[in-house]
Amino acid sequence: MSRSLMPGAMKFLGQGAAYLALAVVLGYFSNSPAYIRLAPDTAVIKLSISHGGQHKGECGTRQFANIKETRTTRRALQLCPRERHSVLVEIFLDGERVFSREQPPSGLSSDGPSYFYERIAVPAGRHRLDMRMRDSGRVEGFDYETTQEVELEPARNLAIVFSTPSANFVIK
Amino acid sequence: MTLIEWKEEFKTGIPHVDYEHEQLISLINELHGEMMSQGSHESVGDFLGELFARISLHFALEEKTMRDENYGGFDAHKKEHEHLLDQIRDIMDRHEDGAYFQSEDRFADELRGWFSTHFRKMDAPLHKLHG
Amino acid sequence: MNGSASPPQPHPHPLRRAAQNGLMQVEGWFDSAFGPKLNPLTQLGALGYFYFWIVAATGIYLYIVFETSINGVYDSIEYLTVEQWYLGGIMRSLHRYASDALVITMMLHLLREFVLDRYRSVRWFSWFSGIPILWLAFASGINGYWLVWDQLAQYIAVATFEWMDWLPLFGEPIANNFLTRGSLGDRFFSLLVFLHIALPLFLLFAMWIHLLRISRPRVNPPLALAAGTFAMLFLLALYKPALSHPPADLGMVVERVSLDWFYLGFYPLIEIWSAGWVWLLLVGTSTVLSILPWAPPFKRSSPAVVDAANCNGCTRCFEDCPYGAVVMGPRDDGRPFPSIALVSADLCTACGICVGSCPASTPFRTSTQLVTGIDLPQFTLDKLRKDVDQALARLKGESKVVIFGCDHGNDIGKLASPDVAVFSLPCIAMLPPAFMDYVLTRGHADGIMLAGCRENECFHRLGVEWTELRIGGKRDPYLRDRVPRDRIATAWLAPSEPGELAGRLKAFRDNLMAMKISAAKDGEKEHSHVS
């Protein structure tokens, strides 16, 4: 009723061939060919900053017609704006600008931090890094600047973060 | 004149089995009536076909019930069902060939014999199971 | 044309037809080597589930023995791989290769069901529920690679989280966890380890959902096939054990990786294109795949309908339906039967197998209108009988054959001739055995040929199997013993084998002729004896 099977031995040869073919495919592609991601003599700088820009505007004093009638939770005397400025970060490698971005604050009310995360591929070797940040909404100049010399061996992964307590860039 | 009279002993106590037995008996009686009143070859054939269908349905339901209740005599009963269906088919084919032409009595006897044999042999022990 | 009982055989799009023919050819080769019961191509789903169990079992062992602290994990896996190569190492290799085999099986299964057009109309559910399986399987596999914490893990973990950070869902980038040496703590790593239990569990759940609208799903391959494929994986594990890359070091960038292309093939793409484009590619593909069942041509046959006067709740249709579309329910017609068959319209594919299983589907009944317990409104048994009667009346010749075929098997229209009548049904198992009895005894045809899909390839999953069992007197409704089996031929063939079908028909007809001649000779002998 069904088609004729191959004669006995041929059948097993056929099955063996099928299994072997699958094994070869599995064995080979489970770790080959190799993928080379980085050109030789290259290093990577990872910039990861999460920094809240300064709030826009001055804090003002509130006037109350009758403080006694105002709910206690609303009796704060200082009224500060929530919105923050955008943050501008620039990175210079040996005087040449390799990164510049102005990142708006996150959050629906624009009052969250500005997040930066960037991979920058650079040649290996000794470099001077100038890192600058502007967070006050000023038109010219920068609020924070740090300069540092680094020695980058090939395939080094260098991280640049910003430390708010010490108010400068930190290299790890 | 009915071929098969409904008797109390036909009652199994199971509503759907009794219903189908009544259906079958009335069908057989109608068939017999058609035969006796010189009904056309086709209409007798139709009745036979209808009977065959109804019996097939009845047996199918009986088999399901037997399976559900893990009836011990299932295999024998099922074999008997298949045998009986073959017998009906034989009757149908003989009718097609004109074997009962002017032999209505033979026809009636075969039908009646068929029914009571099945009932006595097979259904009775089955409904004893249900009490 | 003889026998126009069916709506015209649906013609698939030529591209799909070409693909089907190609697939059938390849399946034919596998049939020759493995036999239809062991053919891996016709049970890819079952093979997939089998590989999942291998991965789960080996995974449980590995999970129990490996150390989950960020500083201890690499060494514990190295120990398993190198020193305990005979147990832990083999488990690890089996774990990897079975996972890779799972990817191959899934993709082939997807491709096959698409080519065979088994995903549209009512069958959309199985297809649609497969998309989450794809995502969960890949996620589980990728997640597994993180846990070794070697250079490959470092690359993949960082790349994955950078890719996910592209979505504006998270505030601080998750990739910060991998920023530099010392960034990755035990706590976050434990989360990744835990994910490798959660994701596969969700995957298992999705695998369960995937089967819900199929009756009798095949989830276990036959023993011989399971043994063969396991042996292959085992030998591969011995020959080429799975090894780790050098240990991860977040202070360095990973330059070179030996990728497992089955799971990790997309990662280079993220770097060559961009995270956004890869998101678009994957989400776009998933969306397109998800809506494929509703792409034109949109054909939909009316579901089966039950006739209360002819249904006594015998449950044969309920047992035979391949899609679980028939359930037994309470009656509202007053007849004292325990239940009645009920058809779920959204599960019924109108294959007609239920019609073939119903004891009331006998054509010997009332000649005015044949009504049966369950029927297809667009393809009634009554019309089939009328067409068969007409065709039988017109048949001439020495060996008259009626061919009942199916819409998804060979195109039997080409075989029609003055002595051969052809009828195409939605599925061959729609043909009630009583019809075969009828055609041979009443219709005076010399033979019947049943042409359906190849074994294990039935479009409606169970049609060929049910037909074989009915003829063999093993599944109700039995074909009556008195029907001569030598006048019934079956031809379970792929649509790519019209030549084979024509050949079988010819051989069958020759055989019938020979039977006729020898019967005539016997008749003469008897005659001469008597006289």
Per residue in C360-369, pLDDT tens? 999 998 777 8
C-alpha span between C141 and C153 (Å, rounded): 12
C269-278, Cβ contacts within 8 angstroms, sequence gap of 24 or more: C270/C159, C270/C162, C270/C163, C271/A37, C271/C159, C275/C162, C275/C163, C275/C166, C276/C166, C278/C163
C-alpha span between C403 and C50 (Å, rounded): 39
The pLDDT value recorded for residue A168 is 86
Distance of CA A120 to the CA centre of its chain: 10
pLDDT above 70 (res A63): yes
Backbone angles phi, psi at A142, to 5 degrees: -130, 150
Among B110-114, C20-24, C202-206, C245-249, the range of highest mean pLDDT? C202-206
Selecting from B58, B64, B89 the residue whose C-beta is nearest the C-beta of C480 gives: B89
Q: Which of C25, C155, C179, C467 to mutate to test the interface with A (most CBs of A within 10 A)?
A: C179
* Mean pLDDT score of chain A: 86
For residue C417, the 8-state DSSP code is: B
The pLDDT value recorded for residue C450 is 96
Q: Which residue has the tokens 């294959």?
A: C351
C-alpha span between C52 and C98 (Å, rounded): 7
In a shared domain, residues C289 and C312: no
pLDDT in tens, C444-480: 899 999 999 998 889 999 999 999 999 999 999 999 9
Q: How confident is the model at residue B123 (pLDDT cuts 50, 70, 90)?
A: low
In a shared domain, residues C288 and C327: no
Domain count, chain C: 2
With CA atoms as reference, the chain B residue closest to C434 would be B53
Asked whether the beta carbons of C9 and C424 are under 8 A apart, the reply is: yes
Looking at the domain assignment, is residue C458 inside a domain?
yes
Asked whether the beta carbons of B69 and B52 are under 8 A apart, the reply is: no
H/E stretch holding C157:
helix C151-165
Tell me how close the Cα of C311 comes to any Cα of chain A, in angstroms: 35
In a shared domain, residues C154 and C135: yes
Residues 121-160 of A with CB under 8 A from C: 155-157, 159
Compute the C-alpha angle A70/A72/A78, nearest 5°. 85
Distance of CA C483 to the CA centre of its chain: 33
CATH number, domain A42-56+84-171? 2.60.40
Token pair listed for C457 = 């390839």
C-alpha span between C176 and A117 (Å, rounded): 8
C303: left (phi over 0), alpha (psi -120 to 50) or beta: beta
In a shared domain, residues C93 and C222: yes
The pLDDT value recorded for residue C11 is 67
Q: Which domain holds residue C48?
A: 43-294
Which region among A124-133, B44-53, C108-117 has the lowest average model confidence (pLDDT)? B44-53
Q: Which residues of C touch A20 (CB under 8 A)?
A: 232
Looking at the domain assignment, is residue C384 inside a domain?
yes
In a shared domain, residues C268 and C382: no
Contact (CB<8Å) B56/C338 = no
H/E stretch holding A36:
strand A34-36
pLDDT in tens, A16-54: 999 999 999 999 999 889 998 888 889 999 999 999 888
In a shared domain, residues C288 and C316: no
pLDDT above 70 (res C3): no
Q: How confident is the model at residue C427 (pLDDT cuts 50, 70, 90)?
A: very high
Average the pLDDT over C494-499 and give the result.
86
The pLDDT value recorded for residue B14 is 80
C-alpha span between C370 and A97 (Å, rounded): 87
Q: Which residues of A touch C261 (CB under 8 A)?
A: 29-30, 32
With CA atoms as reference, the chain B residue closest to C441 would be B93
Contact (CB<8Å) A36/C256 = yes
pLDDT above 60 (res C8): no
pLDDT above 70 (res A5): no
pLDDT above 50 (res C508): yes
Q: How confident is the model at residue B12 (pLDDT cuts 50, 70, 90)?
A: confident
For residues B42 and B54, which has the higher predicted lDDT (pLDDT)? B54
H/E stretch holding C355:
helix C353-357
Q: Which residues of C touch B61 (CB under 8 A)?
A: 312-314, 337
Q: Where among C294, C328, C349 does a domain terminate?
A: C294
CA dist C126 → C214, C293, C403 (Å): 8, 10, 32
Half-sphere exposure of A82 (CA within 13 A, CB side): 7
In a shared domain, residues C312 and C246: no
C-alpha span between C21 and C1 (Å, rounded): 26
Asked whether the beta carbons of C422 and C469 are under 8 A apart, the reply is: no
C-alpha span between C445 and C487 (Å, rounded): 9
β-partners of residue A117 are A48
Query: Could you give the residue ranges of the DSSP H alpha helices within C219-307?
Result: 223-239, 261-264, 267-272, 275-291
Exposure b/e, C81-108, CB count within 10 A at least 16 = b:
beeeeeebbbbbbbbbbbbbbbbbbbee
C-alpha span between C7 and C29 (Å, rounded): 33
Query: Could you give the residue ranges of the DSSP H alpha helices within B1-131?
Result: 15-36, 41-68, 74-96, 104-118, 124-130
Q: Where among C271, C294, C317 does a domain terminate?
A: C294
Contact (CB<8Å) B49/C365 = yes
In a shared domain, residues C112 and C224: yes
pLDDT above 80 (res C527): no
Selecting from C179, C261, C490 the residue whose C-beta is nearest the C-beta of A46 gives: C179
C-alpha span between C40 and C27 (Å, rounded): 9
pLDDT above 60 (res C178): yes
Q: Does a cis peptide bond (omega within 30 degrees of 0) precede residue C477?
A: yes
Residue C485 exposed, middle or buried by CB count within 10 Å (0-12, 13-18, 19+): exposed
Chains A and B touch (3+ CB pairs under 8 A): no
pTM score, two decimals? 0.83
pLDDT above 80 (res C371): yes
**For chain B, domain boundaries:** 15-28+42-130
Q: Which residues of C touch A122 (CB under 8 A)?
A: none
C-alpha span between C365 and B31 (Å, rounded): 13
The torsion angle over the Cα atoms of residues A8, A12, A18 and A20, rounded to 10 degrees, is -160
Average the pLDDT over C498-505 and give the result.
92
pLDDT above 50 (res C429): yes
Token pair listed for C335 = 């007849």
The pLDDT value recorded for residue B127 is 58
Closest C-alpha to A36, from C271, C275, C74, C175: C271
Looking at the domain assignment, is residue C18 inside a domain?
no
pLDDT in tens, C62-87: 999 988 888 899 999 999 999 999 99
Residues with Cβ within 8 Å of residue C27, at least 6 apart in sequence: C39, C41, C42, C454, C457, C494
C-alpha span between B89 and B45 (Å, rounded): 11
pLDDT above 90 (res A2): no
In a shared domain, residues C347 and C236: no
With CA atoms as reference, the chain C residue closest to B63 would be C314
Q: Which residue has the tokens 């890192």?
A: A131
For residues B28 and C447, which has the higher predicted lDDT (pLDDT)? C447
CA dist C424 → C321, C384, C411, C429 (Å): 20, 10, 9, 11
Topology at the third CATH level for domain B15-28+42-130: Four Helix Bundle (Hemerythrin (Met), subunit A) (1.20.120)
C-alpha span between C183 and B117 (Å, rounded): 89
Residues 472-511 of C with CB under 8 A from B: 476-478, 480-482
Selecting from C179, C235, C240 the residue whose C-beta is nearest the C-beta of A48 gives: C179
For residues B129 and C433, which has the higher predicted lDDT (pLDDT)? C433
Residue B63 exposed, middle or buried by CB count within 10 Å (0-12, 13-18, 19+): buried
C-alpha span between B48 and B27 (Å, rounded): 9
Contact (CB<8Å) B60/C365 = no
C-alpha span between C466 and C462 (Å, rounded): 6
CATH number at residue C244: 1.20.810.10
Measured between CB atoms, does C312 come within 8 Å of chain B?
Answer: yes
Average the pLDDT over A96-123 and give the result.
89
C-alpha span between C65 and C80 (Å, rounded): 9
pLDDT above 90 (res C277): yes
H/E stretch holding C449:
strand C447-452
In a shared domain, residues C334 and C399: yes
pLDDT in tens, C28-66: 899 889 988 899 999 999 999 999 999 999 999 999 998
| Percent of chain B's residues with pLDDT above 90 | 12
Closest C-alpha to C274, from A124, A118, A49: A118
Average the pLDDT over C237-251 and give the result.
94
Residue A116 exposed, middle or buried by CB count within 10 Å (0-12, 13-18, 19+): buried
The pLDDT value recorded for residue B126 is 59
In a shared domain, residues C266 and C354: no
Subunits close to B (at least 3 CB pairs below 8 A):
C
Q: Which residue has the tokens 């044949």?
A: C370
Selecting from A18, A23, A156 the residue whose C-beta is nearest the C-beta of C251 gives: A156
In a shared domain, residues C215 and C92: yes
Measured between CB atoms, does C348 come within 8 Å of chain B?
Answer: no
With CA atoms as reference, the chain C residue closest to B42 would be C367
pLDDT above 60 (res C6): no
For residue C86, the 8-state DSSP code is: I
Q: How confident is the model at residue A73 (pLDDT cuts 50, 70, 90)?
A: confident
Which region among B11-15, C76-80, C127-131, C304-308 has the lowest average model confidence (pLDDT)? B11-15
Selecting from C338, C360, C367 the residue whose C-beta is nearest the C-beta of B56 gives: C360
Asked whether the beta carbons of C329 and C344 are under 8 A apart, the reply is: no
Token pair listed for C456 = 């294990």
Looking at the domain assignment, is residue C27 inside a domain?
no
Tell me how close the Cα of B120 comes to any Cα of chain C, in angstroms: 23
Q: At what angle do helices B15-36 and B104-118 cross, to 10 degrees?
A: 170
Q: Which residue has the tokens 């019961």?
A: C37
Closest C-alpha to B49, from C433, C436, C360: C360
Q: Where among C256, C275, C294 does a domain terminate?
A: C294
For residue C403, the 8-state DSSP code is: E
* Mean pLDDT score of chain C: 91
Give the type of residue at A25: V
For residue A39, the 8-state DSSP code is: -
With CA atoms as reference, the chain B residue closest to C317 would be B60
